[in-house]
Amino acid sequence: MASPLPSPTDPPVTVAEAGAVTVLVCSSCRRTGDGPETPRPGTRLADALGAEACPGVSVRRVACLGNCTRGLSAAIYREGCWTYVFGGLDEGSSGDLREGARLFAGASDGFMPWRGRPEALKRGLIARVPPIDLLKDLP
Ligand code: FES
């Protein structure tokens, strides 16, 4: 049975054109005790990231990434590559997400590089999801 995890013998992932990276930020995440009128920290994170976005990286708000109990959440997607889901972020994480997206956009193998990845995106990794093309090859 083939493993869904990559190995050195796997064929290279078909990588989309550099720069086709999207950061999906959950704008619904809130802190315990926040009232309904309190601006959502997830919204503020999305706004900050959108205001500082770098070329080739787009930012989208999503309603929920299903990671609600583990802090602010975001995913970084690149067509034809693995998708990375992060939790434990905070309102100041826009720079870390931007740097992760920039690294991912420049990767030639379809993976977000570990080296140089901000600490928040190392310890905050919740999951990585294979590209749909890889799933077609599984038995
Ligand atoms: S509300 Fe943000 S992950 Fe669910």
Q: For position 18, what pLDDT does the model report?
A: 53
Please give the distance, rounded to the nearest whole angstrom, from the Cα atom of residue 98 to the centre of ligand 1.
Answer: 20
Please give the distance, rounded to the nearest whole angstrom, from the Cα atom of residue 110 to the centre of ligand 1.
Answer: 26
Please give the distance, rounded to the nearest whole angstrom, from the Cα atom of residue 46 to the centre of ligand 1.
Answer: 13
Which residue's C-alpha comes closest to atom 1 of ligand 1?
Answer: 29
**Percentage of the chain exceeding pLDDT 70:** 86
Under a CB-based contact definition with an 8 Å cutoff, are residues 90 and 71 in contact? Answer: yes
Mean pLDDT, to the nearest integer, of 92-118?
A: 94
Under a CB-based contact definition with an 8 Å cutoff, are residues 89 and 101 in contact? Answer: no
Residue 111 has pLDDT above 60, yes or no: yes
The helix/strand count (H/E) of the chain reads as 4, 5
How many Cβ atoms are within 10 Å of 53's Cβ, its own excluded? 16
Q: What are the start-end ranges of the E strands in 30-102?
A: 57-62, 72-78, 83-89
Mean pLDDT, to the nearest integer, of 38-48?
A: 90
Q: Of the residues 25, 68, 69, 90, which should be mutated to test ligand 1's pocket, given the most ligand atoms within 8 Å of the CB?
A: 68
Please give the backbone phi and psi of residue 103, each rounded to the nearest 5 degrees, phi first: -60, -45
Grade residue 3 by pLDDT with cuts at 50, 70 and 90: very low
Grade residue 14 by pLDDT with cuts at 50, 70 and 90: very low
Residues with CB under 6 A from ligand 1: 26, 28-29, 42, 64-68, 73
Mean pLDDT, to the nearest integer, of 79-100?
A: 94
Domains annotated on the chain, with CATH: 21-135 (3.40.30.10)
Q: Which of 92, 136, 137 is nearest to 118 (CA)?
A: 92
